Amino acid sequence: MAKLPTITRLIEEDIPQEHRSWFSKVLMPLNSFISTVLAMLNKGLNFDDNFDAFTKQIEFTESADMYPLYIKNTLKGYPKGVIKLRLEDITASGATAITDAIDVDWGISDDGKIKINNISGISSTGYKYRLTVLVF
């Protein structure tokens, strides 16, 4: 992958003399755009601010009748995916990350919400969990 260019702004002296009169009018907005884009591409992008995606945390207690769990869809359209980012056991004081293979089975409810039908890999009834997902 290519690295970002080292140039971060243009100065009037970089422009040939015969073009400076009209180019100076666009120089400030162009430099502002360049610096914003470079800052974003230099590890400044995130799902919530820059993509049609969001992260959501849900806390729940495992039980036989807990499903489905619902998440409000704030995307511009229907989601294409729901990815588990983290699952923590929060039953005791402090949070313990669950590192076993976990899968989130999801769909869309009739009213457009994201419906989590099942979370495989957890089976301890009565335990309290915190699930963090990325919806995109």
Instruction: Outline where the chain has alpha helix (H).
Output: 20-41, 47-50
Mean pLDDT across the chain? 90
Reported confidence tier of residue 83, pLDDT bands at 50, 70, 90 = very high
Distance CA 57, CA 65 (A): 20
Write out the two tokens for 113. Answer: 């919400």
The 10s digit of each residue's pLDDT in 21-41 is 888 889 889 999 988 888 888
Report the share of the chain in percent with pLDDT over 90: 50
Q: Report residue 107 CA to chain centroid gap.
A: 19
Please report the domains of the chain, with CATH numbers, ordered by start residue.
12-41 (no CATH), 47-135 (2.60.40)
Tell me if 132 sits within 8 A of 55, measured CB to CB.
Answer: yes
